[in-house]
Each structure stands twice: as C-alpha cells, then as structure tokens.
Amino acid sequence: MSDRRTVAFSKNSANLFFHILTECNLNCRHCYINPEQHGKTRVPLKTIKSWLDVFSDGDPAPNLIFLGGEPTLHPDLAEAVQHARSKGFSSITIDTNGFLFHDILNKVGPEEVDFFSFSLDGATRKTNDAIRGQGSYDTCIKGIKKTVSAGFATSLIYTVSRANLAELRLMPALLSDLEIERFFIQVIGLRGKASRSGGKDALQVSRSEWLQTIPPLAKKIAARDIIVSYPKVYLQPEETFECAGRVAQNYFIFPNGRVYQCPLCEDLPIHSLQLKDNQLIPTAKLNESDLFELNIPEGCVMNKLIQPDNISYAIGGIPEYKIGCCLLKEEIQAK
C-alpha cells in the first residue's frame, strides 16, 4: 500500500472540494448535485486556476479533490491538476464515476494525482446499476482496473442505503480483487435528489442496521490492509460532539462561486463564502457559519433541521444519542 495522502475527515484537517462542473453522464438515484443552487456551467480553466490560487496557501495546505458532476467531462481537468500540483496542495484526488472521459489517464501521471476515487453503490451489477444506472458497474470496474494498471492509487466510495446495505458483506473480497487502497463509507442523506423526492425513497438505514453492520465490516476490510473511513453517525452520550465547521477547514466550491463549509447546507443559499472577482468574500449573515456556533443536545444542527427523523427522544424530551458531524469520520487501518 502506498503512503499517498487524500481527503482527510479529521479534526484540524483542510480539504478543498472543487466542483468544476455539475454536468454528469449518469443520473444516480441519490445524486446530491443541485444545479439550481450550484450553477450549470463548467468553470473555465482560467477561473479554476485563479480559485485554486485563492486556497493554495492555506495552513495546513489543503487536500484538493476535483469533483462534479463528473469532473473528467471537463476538457481542461489535466491542466487544472498540473496547475494545482505547482501550487503545493497537500494531495490531489479526482473523484470519478469510472467513465474517465477525455483520456484522462494518459494526460496525468501518478506523480501528479495521488488518488483516483471511484463511486460504486453495490457489490453486484444488479444492485449498483439499479442505483447508478445501466452499465455503470461494468464501466466503473473496468475503469478501476485500467487506473491501477497505469500505476495510480485508487479509493472507492460506497454510499450506504437500504438498497445496498446487504451487499456490503461482498465488498471486502471485491476491494481486494480490485487492489483498492482506501474505502470510504458514506451514509445516504436527505439532500439533493433524495430530498427533492421528499425522502420518500425510504433509502435511509436505521440506527440499529448501521451499528450492527458498519463498524464490524470496517474492521474486516481494514484487516485486508485497506484503510477504511466511515461516519459514526450516532454518538454515545459520553462521546464529544464536534462540528467540522469549527474544528476543521472544509471548503466546497461550486461553479456559481458559492463556497460552503458544510455539505448539509448545500441545498440552501446559506453558504458562508463567495468567490467574486477571484476573491473569497464572506457572505452576509445569517449563513451556515452561524449554525456551527449553536450547541444543541442533538449534536449536528443541520441534521436536526433537515433530517430530524434520525433522532429519537427519551421521556422528558432528552435525545437518546447525538448525531455526529458527517465530516469527522472514524478511520481504521491494520496495525
């Protein structure tokens, strides 16, 4: 396994999630991209460079993640990577659905891109394609194999929902076969398309399903020398709640210049920063950063606002547990 870095979901980390476009060739059931809120244009290369410059001298140097939409649909992605590399970002990752457009593997090298991060939402073609679309499984698997053969490190993101929870048990073997180095487990949330359908998809897994499945599975995968990250979601009463908006630096940039610090805020015009004339400007109050300051017994304020069904209360109205920050995850690896 390489010692390359990529996105870090930990306290004091710095990550720049740069959505260089919102267009995509797929139409996944739970896609969180919201063009009405995020813009519909491709960010021109000149602007990509200027915006990267704005963030490049952060302390600590941020991990940079290019994403979309599907970022490899952007014809200038390779040049954007090369510019970023010259600017001293801590690591560079490209998130992709596996289609790897514009011959990207031949335009960048493993010395420029630390990780290609693929999204797969099922261990089998049937389950993945029901969520992500016909043909997406085969293309993603082919893309991973090609990327590994070209000498790149790869990671995999799996968004857990009721539709694919059962298939997680097949993932350890698949990850090993594909020589994946890092596995990121995400929990389906009610934003983007999932929220616009009124959450009626009933895709969210229950607390007991999550707790019974995810931590033991993560251990199993880590034993295969694959680093696993997963959100704890449900904190025990004795665990300290922290909001990444206060203890880490995460910036989610969108083509319309909005910059959010919390992904759960992205469906609302409450971004705390805006890129204007290539300058980063704080937005007027109230905005997401005012929410980060609130201390509530339920933990994450945004979770309480947009998915209150995740919380249950004991007699007397006391929450039975806190909801942790989705940007601060458990990371486990073999000793």
Contact footprint for ligand SF4 (CB under 6 A): 24, 26-28, 31, 33, 68-70, 97, 119, 132, 243-245, 262, 264, 291-292, 300-303, 325-327
**Helix or strand (DSSP H, E) at 205:** none
Least distance CB 225 / ligand SF4 (angstroms): 28
User: Angle at CA 270, nearest 5°, toward 266 and 275?
Assistant: 85
Least distance CB 335 / ligand SF4 (angstroms): 29
Which residues lie across from 229 on neighbouring strands?
Answer: 184, 331
Least distance CB 301 / ligand SF4 (angstroms): 5
Q: Which is nearer to ligand SF4, 180 or 222 (CB)?
A: 180
Q: Is 325 exposed, middle or buried (0-12, 13-18, 19+ CB in 10 A)?
A: buried
Least distance CB 126 / ligand SF4 (angstroms): 17
Least distance CB 166 / ligand SF4 (angstroms): 21
Q: What does the DSSP 8-state code read for residue 256?
A: T
Q: Which is nearer to ligand SF4, 203 or 264 (CB)?
A: 264
Secondary structure tally for the chain: helices H, strands E: 11, 14
Q: Is 209 in a helix, a strand, or coil?
A: helix
Is cis: bond before 299, omega within 30 of 0? no
Q: Which is nearer to ligand SF4, 90 or 96 (CB)?
A: 96
Least distance CB 220 / ligand SF4 (angstroms): 26
Q: Which is nearer to ligand SF4, 28 or 156 (CB)?
A: 28
Whole-angstrom Cα distance, residue 74 to residue 85? 18
Structure tokens at 4: 């390359």
What is the number of other CB atoms lying within 10 angstroms of the CB of residue 225? 11
Q: How far is Cα of residue 45 from the mean position of the Cα atoms in its chain?
A: 23
Q: What are phi and psi of 251, to 5 degrees?
A: -125, 125
Q: Which is nearer to ligand SF4, 172 or 310 (CB)?
A: 310
- For every residue of 302-324, DSSP letters joined together read HHHHH-GGG--B-TTS-BSSEEP
Q: What are phi and psi of 65, to 5 degrees?
A: -125, 120
Q: Which is nearer to ligand SF4, 26 or 80 (CB)?
A: 26
Q: Which is nearer to ligand SF4, 9 or 222 (CB)?
A: 9
Q: Are 155 and 181 in contact (CB under 8 A)?
A: yes
Structure tokens at 110: 């493993």
User: Helix 125-132 and helix 136-149: axis angle, to 10°?
Assistant: 110
Residue positions counted in the chain: 335
Least distance CB 334 / ligand SF4 (angstroms): 28
Q: Which is nearer to ligand SF4, 127 or 222 (CB)?
A: 127
Structure tokens at 188: 């389906």
Least distance CB 272 / ligand SF4 (angstroms): 11
Least distance CB 135 / ligand SF4 (angstroms): 13
Q: Which is nearer to ligand SF4, 97 or 256 (CB)?
A: 97
